[in-house]
Structure 1
């Protein structure tokens, strides 16, 4: 367990009478918080594991260090107390998934206290120490860095500068979430009336190994100081030591101020060059030479991750791609909720020992423990998005389980199930489908056709069929799995409801809009009853209700549904959470469909700013929202601005995603649309043909999106007076698409 604090393991020392009672455990703060165990002591005081007896939840309670414990100076005590109160106000004002939640604060018997969520995890300092200061693997570094950068982008937008970012203040939870804690010396702007320095003597605030040059010089400090500290943290994660790991505090401070850091690859040659470049950019002495905001740092990290995934899958991806975004999407793709994960394995803590090395384990009692540990390691590789390495490691585990336990053992099948899931994330859907079907056949024979693990494999096979646009086959499989689950575990079991949800999504893909709406509404009602109205799965089903209403043309009802979900998600997750922004995005689509384009334009403008702030300018969802903004600019007749927006979005997508990516081509189509409205038909024809050729090449000439692009081309030919060419092209489109969409 870790609380939201930066303290180290406690040690005996002087305590006041009030604290002496708490040291024994059982102390009660404000007749509500029962202190159970001292779990940390840091610069601002002590942190206790406690129980909130009013709500029955476990919390962390941070108590101010006993008054004057170190100096006996009343002035120092007042400063310490004022800093603590400021920490409470700042922390309580922050609502973001990457920041420790503050529940309450106050004063009790002369002791100031702060009540925080109790976190199940370990801080990065502990993780590094446990790894004996070995540097962390690159995927773990970029995953943690991206989450920290996103949280900093949010806090900086609120006018808050942390001023003491360090590994001990960054906690990695057991589910992989990374949170920043201890805003004890954060700077809140003029909104709450604090000056930049609380001490008349210019008392240093910060930790020497991670302090920016401007902090050391007592110069003006802004959000870029946190970015410097982030660079120090990343340097340490990447090399095992801070950038200026010198003998005493003064030497460290002088190093930060005057010395160029040694490039990380001089210590660790295998580090990617773009990661080293980012770290060194963050460590620039002059704030003007650093990245200027955390959102851009987040964007650079996302681009690194995307490039890494693309490189690992290069040459191995089939021509299968996700659904096209036709101008603005109004429906969701079917998704697997993976509610049932067979043969759960213990969690593998980050220790810097990630690898996909060839694995052999001895036969005997130790073999199964070793296999479970490696399977957990593979699961964590997938969690951080390194699907190729996760697949390779799961496959190696499968081979060893075949040798030690036999290929039809449930644990061996569980390893193959996880390997198949990795294949779906690598867009190798045909391979995944074949593997899921084999697993389902063997499980049906070994465990029984109605065993939940058998049904889980069939559920995933149905999902893969949907991804392959085989929606009739997917419908039959979902229906069979649903009947079995209702028969064996009941209609309200979470796995049953997951299957019902995906069945509803698939009905929409089959064009059966009314049935899709009825099914989605039933799932949403059941999940509300079983899980609660604000549960993420319930909200997901309520979003699907919105999609179905849109397909039925009931845009006003769909708008109401999305706005309700957005409010629920904002309350539970925060206004800038990606899920909240996704619901607001769909509300913007509805506004456009209702002809309320000015409102849609204002909403998309807000969303672009929020997405950029939270995730960076190159994030796919930021670009998707900018795409919607550009389309809406066209709807209000601002075609020059629409063309400029479409060009910029397409250029970024081409650079980040590649020239044949569906989103890149959707962006290019908007360029052609804007050109047409501006009367620039020859240029529009060139772009329409480029998009049509690419879609035919990737998807095949009979794909609906390729046919739509050829229709665009024919329309453009008509506008250019080339009617015969247009008619011939439309005849070709009609002949190619004569089979029509798949129906059940």
Structure 2
């Protein structure tokens, strides 16, 4: 497009003023109106990029155009036009003559800006944010590079690339990935870091970080270590601004610290409230406002690493050491690359005809050094595969990763970290598509390669071994999984410390596996401890904390402690609804477990009402044939039976069974559970001959699939014997009971 210099016979490109990984910004002349404008272009994706991923990037760019074009305020960049020219999307904006705040700081040798300028900028940005928030738009990436101060002193907010429309939640979730924090580490709110629900108060927190930086010369948590920055946002009270710069007015210090409150409810109500506080402070008055009741969180105690004293400031946990991604949003370009790099890693040239690796290289010949363009293309394709996985497109992601792994092995070698990284992702996609045995082989290969190249205690080696344990569990090889989890956990605790997120993840998985081994008390104790540690380090409402609390509830139920299980599940439902939304799959899954607990406590009428509501919500969110909708309907049928409404229960079980057979298959465990429920209903209605036929179908299918001595098969044979007994065929029943007892004894399963 740059070669034509003319877009749509109207916009003539004059000179390049900004470039990023995904696009360019040009100074241009609008030939129709005779004015200068800025034209932002999205680079076309070559054939090496996955088409689905390319479509998502284009949709995100279109959304930015739609968001920005809807805004008409002196404090927001004006969008004039949007379109597509020769396959390239473009956005035409007003041309701003000025400097962004990052550049102003750099011009000032990173010294803070004059106090009057800082307060004026704060008031103007608050006014612009108040307007955008009233339009239902949250920026989500407010930082110095996205705020321009023009030559006449006007301040404008730029770049709504990851903004969220209040009425466009489904699109936003699809574009950013569920639970993926978007933004720049130095300016992200605690709720944004945790992947929780974000509203306009997240922008207020980010503005607090920006104001802190331009007022003092550095952001509130000024570390080169990105994880240290994120933990600072989450756990550490910011130092008052006046400890860095005494001439700042007291009201401004208070306002910024209130913006930096850890929870949204403790910040100003909205940007209008913020603007009023600043205006009152500038005129010397006192605002008539209720106190916020903000309580700064106590910092966590430092954790000493076995290798010596903590290298970080003592307010940050030891496990943040060594994590080095991310940076402040500063730079010398007129437009920071961050301002429109919508997807990390996609930095290939506009034309991407990659050179193919040489074929037929003689054995022992030195491998030629691959060019940077080819490596960049492979990195781009790897990132595309990751994003497909985040969107749940595991099959497509696997195809991308397999192709990249083959090319990396050819040009870099089988033991190169990048080759092993691609092989690791291949294993991950295999495990998520039900091919656990293949995934196990892939992870084993990666673990061996990483151990040779990086050492047995390296985090990447341990990650591959931990995935091996996970797929061993998928294969039902829980004892082997337990041994591997225990070994990985010992290594993680030794090399990373007990509170590192990866250590806690391993302990969570070990607790899960212990419950599958029947070691319920150990599982409960470990899950409880992990939940407490995650609540302390990540917060009580963090998704990881809630996953472990869910596991605590599950183990409590298996221990027969249903009252405690019910309370735990209800707390998880409430927290997930607030953090993830009432319709999030994790929230709905916890509601299902509440119903299980109510039924086990004999409160079937309550369980029935819960399941009715859950079926409606699951149907609305996922459809009538979705497996989780059918699971909720199964729970509904079970509780109809517990209330002795057996005709209704039988009808529900039959319909669920038919649907499960069509969606999941005749031999799927869930289908067999529904078939058994049909037999239960037939028995309670006195139709024992019909019930026997169905019980035998279930027992025979489980024998064929699971083996004659599997606990589920034995339970089915017990049902069959009970049915024979009810039909007066006592001798046959006794013989079958004896066979079941012998098989239980042989497997070491307690008799009931």
TM-score tier (shorter): 0.5 to 0.7
How far apart, in 2, do the equivalents of 1:638 and 1:54 lie? Answer: 65
Equivalent position to 1:523, from 525, 530, 546? 530
Q: Find out whether 1:620 has 2:627 as its counterpart.
A: yes
Deviation at 1:346, TM superposition (A): 6.5
Whether the aligned pair in 2 keeps the contact of 1:521 and 1:542 (CA below 8 Å) is yes
Give 1:256-405 correspondences, 5 Å limit.
360-361=356-357, 363-405=370-412
How far apart, in 2, do the equivalents of 1:518 and 1:720 lie? Answer: 46
Residues 172/668 of structure 1: CA separation in 2 closer, same or farther (3 Å cut): closer
Indicate the residue corresponding to 1:666 in structure 2.
673
Give 1:430-445 correspondences, 5 Å limit.
430-445=437-452
Equivalent position to 2:699, from 667, 692, 701? 692
Equivalent position to 2:162, from 100, 120, 126? 120
Q: Partner of 2:466: helix, strand, or coil?
A: helix
How far apart, in 1, do the equivalents of 2:127 and 2:470 lie? Answer: 39
Indicate the residue corresponding to 1:678 in structure 2.
685
Q: Find out whether 1:476 has 2:483 as its counterpart.
A: yes
Indicate the residue corresponding to 1:706 in structure 2.
713
Residues 347/620 of structure 1: CA separation in 2 closer, same or farther (3 Å cut): farther
Q: Deviations over 1:385-422 (max 9, x none)?
A: 44333323322222221111111111111111111112
Q: Deviations over 1:354-374 (max 9, x none)?
A: xxxx99556433221222222
Whether the aligned pair in 1 keeps the contact of 2:527 and 2:552 (CA below 8 Å) is yes
Deviation at 1:100, TM superposition (A): 11
Indicate the residue corresponding to 2:177 in structure 1.
175
Equivalent position to 2:722, from 691, 715, 718? 715
Whether the aligned pair in 2 keeps the contact of 1:507 and 1:516 (CA below 8 Å) is yes
Whether the aligned pair in 2 keeps the contact of 1:691 and 1:709 (CA below 8 Å) is yes
How far apart, in 1, do the equivalents of 2:517 and 2:562 lie? Answer: 20
How far apart, in 1, do the equivalents of 2:741 and 2:619 lie? Answer: 42
Q: Partner of 2:582: helix, strand, or coil?
A: coil
Q: Partner of 1:739: helix, strand, or coil?
A: helix
Q: Find out whether 1:543 has 2:550 as its counterpart.
A: yes
Q: Deviations over 1:658-705 (max 9, x none)?
A: 111111111111111111111111111111111122222222222221
Indicate the residue corresponding to 2:519 in structure 1.
512
Q: Deviations over 1:120-175 (max 9, x none)?
A: 3799xxxxxxxxxxxxxxxxxxxxxxx99x95xxxxxxxxxxxxxxxxx8785233
Whether the aligned pair in 1 keeps the contact of 2:702 and 2:713 (CA below 8 Å) is yes
- Which deviates further from its counterpart, 360-369 or 630-639? 360-369
The alignment covers a number of residue pairs equal to 472
Residues 173/602 of structure 1: CA separation in 2 closer, same or farther (3 Å cut): same
Q: Partner of 2:498: helix, strand, or coil?
A: coil
Q: Partner of 1:550: helix, strand, or coil?
A: helix
- Which deviates further from its counterpart, 488-497 or 507-516? 507-516
Q: TM-score, normalised by structure 1?
A: 0.56
How far apart, in 1, do the equivalents of 2:641 and 2:347 lie? Answer: 49
How far apart, in 2, do the equivalents of 1:376 and 1:58 lie? Answer: 36
How far apart, in 2, do the equivalents of 1:377 and 1:539 lie? Answer: 29
Residues 5/466 of structure 1: CA separation in 2 closer, same or farther (3 Å cut): closer
Residues 555/177 of structure 1: CA separation in 2 closer, same or farther (3 Å cut): closer
Q: Deviations over 1:265-310 (max 9, x none)?
A: xxxxxxxxxxxxxxxxxxxxxxxxxxxxxxxxxxxxxxxxxxxxxx
Equivalent position to 2:422, from 377, 396, 415? 415
Q: TM-score, normalised by structure 2?
A: 0.56
Q: Deviations over 1:523-545 (max 9, x none)?
A: 00000000001000001111111
How far apart, in 1, do the equivalents of 2:719 and 2:469 lie? Answer: 33
Residues 23/395 of structure 1: CA separation in 2 closer, same or farther (3 Å cut): closer
Q: Deviations over 1:483-519 (max 9, x none)?
A: 1111111111100000011111111111111111110
Indicate the residue corresponding to 2:463 in structure 1.
456
- Which deviates further from its counterpart, 398-407 or 628-637? 398-407
Q: Deviations over 1:425-481 (max 9, x none)?
A: 222212222222222122112100000011001111111111122222111111111
Indicate the residue corresponding to 1:426 in structure 2.
433
How far apart, in 1, do the equivalents of 2:424 and 2:324 lie? Answer: 8
Calculate the aligned-residue CA RMSD, in Å: 4.6
Whether the aligned pair in 2 keeps the contact of 1:10 and 1:40 (CA below 8 Å) is no
Whether the aligned pair in 2 keeps the contact of 1:371 and 1:401 (CA below 8 Å) is yes
How far apart, in 2, do the equivalents of 1:476 and 1:58 lie? Answer: 56
Q: Which has the higher contact order (CA 8 A, sep 6+)?
A: 1
Deviation at 1:632, TM superposition (A): 0.7
Deviation at 1:594, TM superposition (A): 1.0
Structure 1 residue runs without a partner (length 5+)? 26-38, 43-47, 65-83, 93-98, 102-114, 124-146, 152-168, 179-339
How far apart, in 1, do the equivalents of 2:78 and 2:93 lie? Answer: 16
Deviation at 1:728, TM superposition (A): 2.7
Give 1:155-170 correspondences, 5 Å limit.
none
